[in-house]
Amino acid sequence: MTAFLSSINYSAWIVPVLLLLPAFGAVGLLAHARLSAGDAADKRWREARLLALAFFVAEAILSLGLWWSVDPAVAGWQAAVDLPWIPQWGIRFTVGLDGISMTLVLLTTLLMPLVILGSWTSIRSKVHSYYALLMLLTVGMLGVFVSLDLVLFYVMWEIMLVPMYLIIGVWGGERRLYASLKFFIYTMVGSLLMLVAILYLGSEASRVLGSPTFSYDFILNNVRLDPTTTLWLFGAFALAFAVKVPMFPFHTWLPDAHVEAPTAGSVILAAIMLKMGTFGFIRFALPLFPSAAMNPAVRTFMVTLAVIGIVYGALVALVQPDFKKLVAYSSVSHLGFVMLGIFALTVESMQGALMVTINHGVSTGALFLLIGMIYERRHTRMIADYGGIAKVVPIFATILTIVCLSSIGVPGTNGFIGEFLVLVGSYKTQPLATIIAATSVVFAAAYMLWALQRIIYNPMTKPENEGLKDLNWREIGLMVPLLIAILWLGVYPKPLLDKTEPAARRLVESVQTAAARTPARATNGAR
Amino acid sequence: MMIPAMTPEGAHPLATTVARLVWLLPLLPLLGFLINGTLAMLGVAKVGPADPSAGHDEHAHAAHTGGHDDHAHHAPTRHKFAGIVSLIGPGVLIAAFGLAVACFLAMRGVEMEHPYIVTLYQWMPVGDLNLAATFQLDQLSMVMVLVVTGVGTLIHVFSVGYMQEDPGYPRYFAYLNLFIFFMLILVLGGNYPLLFVGWEGVGLCSYLLIGFWFSEKANADAGKKAFIVNRIGDFGFLVAMFLMFANLGALDFGNVAAKAAELPMGGVMATTICLFLFLGCAGKSAQIPLYVWLPDAMAGPTPVSALIHAATMVTAGVYLIARSATLFSMAPTAQLVVALVGGLTAFFAATIGLKQWDIKKVLAYSTVSQLGYMFVAVGVGAYVAGIFHLVTHAFFKALLFLGSGSVIYAMHAAYHATHKHDDAQDMRNMGGLRKFMPVTFYLMWIATLAIAGIPFFSGFFSKDEILGSVFARAHGSTLADASLLGVPGGTILMLIYGLGLASALMTAIYMTRMMLYTFHGPNRTGEAERPHLAEAPWIMTGPLVVLGALSLVGGWLNVPALLGAIGPVGVLDHWLEPVVGEAALRTTLGAAPHMTHETELMLVGVAIAIATAGIAFAVWRLKPAALVAKKDAVAPQGIDRILENKYFVDEGYDKGIVQPTLDVSRVVLWKGLDTGIIDGLFVNGSALLARAIGWMGSQLQTGQVGTYAWVLLIGVITLLGAFTFR
Amino acid sequence: MLVEALALSAVLFTIGVIGVLTRRNAIIIFMCVELMLNAVNLSFVALSTLHGATGQVFVVFTMTVAAAEAAVGLAIIIAIFRHTQTVNLQNINILKG
Amino acid sequence: MQVNQFHSLFYAFTFYFFGLVAIASAIAFVTRKSPVAAAVWLVLVMFSLAALYVMLDAQFIGAIQVLVYTGAIMVVFLFVIMLLNLGNPSELADARGKWGYLAALLIGLVMLAEVMALTRSNTIDRMIPPDLAAKAAAAAAAPLAGGVIGPIAAPLFNEYLLAFELTSVLLLAAIVGAVVLSKRRTNAR
């Protein structure tokens, strides 16, 4: 495989192609919308979704080669491309991958076809725009993961926002306008401070270099800031990422956005977009500002927020009447684990955080897909409207149970590996926080199983549910890869862990050594 | 399947024997699960139409309205896959048991100093944590494997009869096979995380099987409760693992034990780890304060109660402590806690058992009580006694549960025949069943005498050994030297001994009560139903007979030296010596626990006297003839009421913990903090603020150009003034 | 004469301002603005005796702008008058949001 | 010498004369109720200013002041007033009242005072960059080459060519705008 990939010079072109293909796809869809304007609505709809699926499948297949071509043990960036973009300001199109971003890119590209299949029949209005926006969104998401130029990163970061805003606002539920606006403004406000920080970093870097630059590598290796500035810049970055993660108390956009978004929107939000926040911490906030990240006060603060998020998310999820909202709050809880793992800063916890990142993408994505499927049949998300449906939809019930168990973190599923690694690693540096976080295993079981019971178990009291039809082959087919991922990652996570291990280790070590290089005043400043 | 690589343990004497196939042990039930699970899905699934959003299909509606009240026992026909499932379900278990026996024989044939460890693959190789999926086969896990597969096989066979008419037949066997798979992972796992996989896996199966008839809320509730309460324990287990990894730097049994032995004796670290581990055990093995799920777990099918909630899963806690013997032996205070909680649980559950009417509830509290005994044993460092009681208890309690299952089966059949809806598990509706089901009757008496501790039945040996161990350790052990909350360990051990005796008395009483009310006296089932009462088919009574025989002779596993005349002394002691011997000796300060012959005789005498007294008291005091059927019974008063309602502990937990948690979450956290303060005040508040400022600005805009000119001019003057006067 | 010219410019400008503030007739206000522009032109020209001809260039520009402004402004006034039949600014408040 | 002295006296007289005329007619302009009268007074102000321009050595500006302002712009004003038949002043009597006048007067005086104070102080000097001031002084000292128009034309078509071109665009836009705005919309009726 590796030989074949190098024979076609795969790593030289793959990243730009991955970014361009969905962009072309969007254009292609809009062209199709123009060309087929006279056709019957039904025919246009069918053609549009097929076209979209074809593009995303092509994207997924193309991206698969990354698994082999990216060698995690190599220290530098791989599949890197560096082109001038806006030379006057030193902004370059610099992209590249390491083990961490490679897994996230694969998560994105592999999930997107499933997302398309998940909204195969549910989206019938303005389909061309819908799929075009999804493609644009993919460009943004992949761009964030691969960018190695701060301005490019920021542009990609903001590109994501617009399609998602429109997807929620146009195809969403009843309160979609409120939710989409809230989502947009919340995230935007968070990222503006990051823009300021990026510009500051750029100017500092340009001062050092003598010509303008925003290169991540250059800033990482050459820009040395005084502790107070570092703290401020870290804060600006952290705010942007914390909103996206979302960390308590910046999480309130999430339940609204999740609930109102169409299925595809919810899945992408939960599975990929939330990961932008944690990825941002891993790629930017920690390595660029190690002294701030290692500052005991900052660390305690972040870990406290993470732990509050874990327990608080679980407790609030416990009492949600709306299943989507419940899952949204459970995301707050799960992402808290990621943050705990990141700021505990041990190799184990960092690896665990990455595992939870992937796992949450798989399990919560699957949960939202399932909710979408049952919503399409019953047009309600209220837990109280169901009950006893395992009798009529056994396939759905079985899959839902497995996915819920994965979300709870039952051993044998992927959820356990992530949570266990985070906790076992975090205990070394943050014992108290870890113990408090571990209580969420109880709450997680409580909210998930209680909801599961009220949906698929118990007596069937609602006559509307008696005619429910089980999942069809398309829906089963799209869940199967997710179920395989759940079990595979739970039983044999080693291949994935191997891919991220060197990068995680380098990160932890570099942050610790870099922080050791700039001691003293950082801690004083924060006290 | 990959054949395990040649690890350093490859040189182990077992590596050349059949034991190298140990990975096949859990794989067999897993295979059974996969096949049965597939069949279960094929049996019920009806794949939906391509476009799910189309309107409701009238046919489907009609088809399902009939399926509303098809309660398991009312379904008329056997499942269409019943044949193949009946073959595969118990079949894989028989194969596994055969393999286990073969391993056992292989093990007896070699001299084993170290456990046999098979590394399957690298599981979580992360940082310093180098977790592999390893199986550890040693004397302790061998005992457990034999119990799990042996008793498991019997119960599988029994289930073929018990569940034959259930529409969820393949699903049932799928769950049961999955349970055995996880149970084997639990006992074979070579490190704590892998044990934890099994630990939670069996909890999951327990959850699925308790809620097997999920259409009734009570069943689904019970399953959920079991899982959540277990998770509280699992929290403790997890924290214990974190502590081990952070302080001992390892998570596999061998290294943990080695490192633990280097810890300071009675130090904080060892004690903390042990206490957290014990929290896990308290959850899984239903000890105070986490015992509440086990009685509710009786909502599952009765063979499940026998297998999971009596014989195997609930004893996992005992296994865990025996497995961590070295760790516990370094923490006498934690040992005292374990023993004391065990003693209290034994006593407390026994009192509740005195007044239960549901035949399975009596057995459930009896199980809790007996588990308490086991914890007393492993708590005082008598690990062999604990495992011994675990084994005998597996025999007689499985027998009791299966017997009660047989009774319930008969009762159900009778009620079903006359279309009467009444409680088939309430002893007040039974009575005089000896006439109708004699085989069950005699076998259950054997089990009752065994659990009561009548000499030469299996329970007598194990219970006596436990009580004797407690008594012996009251002097001259690390426990006696330690203290708990200022109370010296010796005093506590004597208290535990007292509790054990009292529980033994009550055990004899409530078990006799159960037998009297169920099998003796007049029949209260009802005139119409009486002709339909009959013995269960042989597929069900067969396993009962085997278990009856085991309950009779199980005690010969570990005959005390005192009774050396009747058979080989201390077989189990010798067998388990390589695993727990060192730890046990550390507790008893290096010497074998020594008692004079007279003391030992006296102890045995007391135990026998108490068991006999209990049975005699029950026979003398209880009048089955005076009992009325459930529907005619009057509500009890005073202490009876408290006992019958289990001290209102469930209600207390509900009022004290569950409801406040929900209320705080809903009112304070969600409505108050989340939507109120964060979202309302900060998020929407800032939006409101912006809007308010905008509104104020819009009020300035009158549309009158004149006004604007004035404002402009005032601004100009101000600016000019600023230039002028600066 | 420079100081006097500048003073005159200031006085004329002030008168224009007072006119803008006190009058209601849109056309008169417009003319007041023209007066103010003229006042500024005067100071440009006056200062150009000191600083060279550049000031006069700006006067040319100002005049052009004034012409353009007059054309558009008067057109607006005509349009508004057609609509409301008045040029009283108190009655014209369509700018209000 | 005599001639020069007389010349300067005459110059001063003329200067003050036109200045006073300008002020007086400006006052008259803002106080007339009739728009027509006001417009005529304003024309007078502009004539006076044209005279002053000429006296300040800006003959070209004086000329186009008469041509453009008085001849074109003010005529347009008058034309509009006539067109809209706004000659009758009664309906547009001032509505501000006495206090309005007083306040306006006050504001005007304050502004005047401030401007005066500003010119007296050296603030302006400080606001002008020294190099620019030096350049400007040099330019002022140089003799006016190229007659009256040359000194204006040179910077206009060199330094300020872009601005000049933009002005033409502005004018074009203004013409189009004026046509569009004042066009009667027939289809709206």
Q: Give the 3-state secondary structure of residue B569.
A: strand
CB distance C18–D72 less than 8 Å? no
Distance from CA of D47 to the nearest CA of C (A): 11
CB distance A347–B126 less than 8 Å? yes
Chain C contact for D176 (CB, 8 A cutoff): no
CA gap A336, A353 in Å, rounded: 9
CA gap D69, D75 in Å, rounded: 8
Residues of A in contact with B49 (CB under 8 A): 469, 472
CA gap B300, B207 in Å, rounded: 9
- Touching C: D residues 55-94, CB under 8 Å: 55-58, 60-61, 64-65, 68-69, 72-74, 76-77, 80-81, 83-84, 86, 91-92, 94
Instruction: Indicate whether A401 belongs to any domain.
Output: yes
Q: Is the pLDDT of residue D126 over 70?
A: no
Q: Is the pLDDT of residue B99 over 90?
A: yes
Complex ipTM value: 0.77
**What is the mean predicted confidence (pLDDT) over B690-707?**
82
Residue B74's pLDDT is what?
46
- Residue B560: pLDDT band with limits 50, 70, 90: confident
C touches which chains (3+ CB pairs under 8 A)?
B, D
Q: In the block, which residue shows the tokens 């549309």?
A: B703
CATH number, domain containing residue C11: 1.10.287.3510
Give the closest of C21, C90, C94 to B709, CB-based: C21
**What is the mean predicted confidence (pLDDT) over B349-356?**
90
Output the six-digit token pair for B462. 């194990």
Distance from CA of D128 to the nearest CA of B (A): 14
Give the closest of C8, C75, C86 to D181, CB-based: C75
Chain D contact for B5 (CB, 8 A cutoff): no
Range of the domain at C67: 2-96
B touches which chains (3+ CB pairs under 8 A)?
A, C, D
Distance from CA of C70 to the nearest CA of D (A): 7
Q: Give the 3-state secondary structure of residue A268.
A: helix
Q: What percentage of chain A carries pLDDT values higher than 70?
A: 98
Least-confidence region, from B59-63, B164-168, D109-113: B59-63
What residue in D sits closest to C24 (Cα-Cα)? D94
What residue in B sits closest to D100 (Cα-Cα)? B710
**How many domains does one find in chain A?**
1
Residue A523's pLDDT is what?
41
- Cβ partners under 8 Å of residue A105, min gap 6: A18, A63, A66, A97, A142, A145, A146
Instruction: Indicate whether A515 belongs to any domain.
Output: no
Give the closest of C17, C21, C94 to B703, CB-based: C94
Q: In the block, which residue shows the tokens 């989206």?
A: A123
Residues of D in contact with C86 (CB under 8 A): 91
Q: In the block, which residue shows the tokens 């079903």?
A: B416
**Residues for chain D: how many in total?**
189
- Residue B391: pLDDT band with limits 50, 70, 90: very high
Give the closest of B714, B717, B723 to D123, CB-based: B723
**How many domains does one find in chain C?**
1
- Residue C38: pLDDT band with limits 50, 70, 90: very high
Least-confidence region, from B613-622, D72-81, D113-122: D113-122
Amino acid identity, residue B470? V
**What is the mean predicted confidence (pLDDT) over A390-408?**
91
CA gap A135, A22 in Å, rounded: 5
- Residue D140: pLDDT band with limits 50, 70, 90: low
Residues of A in contact with B50 (CB under 8 A): 121, 472-474
CB distance D117–B717 less than 8 Å? no
Residue B72's pLDDT is what?
43
Residues of D in contact with C21 (CB under 8 A): 96, 100, 103-104, 107-108
Residue C92's pLDDT is what?
72
Distance from CA of B197 to the nearest CA of A (A): 5
* DSSP state letter for D67: I
Residues B127, A348: contact at Cβ < 8 Å? yes
Residue A173's pLDDT is what?
84
Number of Cβ within 10 Å of residue B105's Cβ equals: 12
pLDDT higher at D46 or B666:
D46
Please give the C-alpha separations between residue B489 and each of B292, B325, B485, B594, in angstroms, as whole numbers: 28, 19, 10, 18
Q: Is the pLDDT of residue D144 over 60?
A: no
Residues of D in contact with C32 (CB under 8 A): 30
Residues A333, A313: contact at Cβ < 8 Å? yes
Residues of B in contact with C90 (CB under 8 A): 704, 706
Give the closest of B45, B65, B242 to A424, CB-based: B242
Residues of B in contact with C21 (CB under 8 A): 706, 709-710, 713
Q: Is the pLDDT of residue B57 over 50?
A: no
- Give the torsion sign (CA, B169, B171, B174, B178): negative
Residue B698's pLDDT is what?
82
Residues of B in contact with D110 (CB under 8 A): 717
* DSSP state letter for A84: E
pLDDT per position as a tens digit, B511-545: 999 999 899 888 888 788 888 888 888 888 899 99
- Cβ partners under 8 Å of residue A91, min gap 6: A85, A149, A151, A152, A212, A214
pLDDT per position as a tens digit, B188-208: 999 999 999 999 999 999 999
Q: What is the 3-state secondary structure (H, E, C) of A375-407?
A: HHHHCCCEHHHCCCCCCCCHHHHHHHHHHHHHH
pLDDT per position as a tens digit, B242-296: 999 998 888 989 899 998 888 888 888 899 999 999 999 999 999 988 989 998 8
Q: Is the pLDDT of residue B401 over 90?
A: yes
Distance from CA of C43 to the nearest CA of D (A): 10
Distance from CA of D187 to the nearest CA of C (A): 15
- Between A and B, how many residue pairs show a Cβ–Cβ distance under 8 A? 208
Please give the C-alpha separations between residue B389 and each of B98, B465, B467, B585, in angstroms, as whole numbers: 24, 9, 11, 20
Give the closest of C53, C78, C86 to D155, CB-based: C53
Chain D contact for C45 (CB, 8 A cutoff): yes
Output the six-digit token pair for B650. 């469930």
CB distance B703–C90 less than 8 Å? no
Residues A147, A100: contact at Cβ < 8 Å? no
Of A257, A298, A261, nearest in space to B679 by CA: A257
Q: What is the 3-state secondary structure (H, E, C) of A459-503?
A: CCCCHHHHHCCCCCHHHHHHHHHHHHHHHHHHHCCHHHHHHHHHH
- Give the torsion sign (CA, B484, B490, B492, B493): positive
DSSP string, A166-199: HHHHHH--TTHHHHHHHHHHHHHHHHHHHHHHHH
Choose the most confident range, by mean pLDDT, from A12-16, B95-99, B307-311: B95-99
Residue A526's pLDDT is what?
38
Residue B510's pLDDT is what?
92
Residues B490, B399: contact at Cβ < 8 Å? no
CB distance D115–B723 less than 8 Å? no
Mutate to test the interface with C, among B705, B708, B717 (most CBs of C within 10 A): B705
Please give the C-alpha separations between residue B488 and each of A14, B377, B497, B585, in angstroms, as whole numbers: 72, 19, 15, 21
Range of the domain at A324: 294-491
Residue B593's pLDDT is what?
66
Mutate to test the interface with D, among B718, B720, B726 (most CBs of D within 10 A): B720
Q: Chain-wide mean pLDDT for chain A?
A: 89
| Alpha-carbon B438 to chain mean position | 31
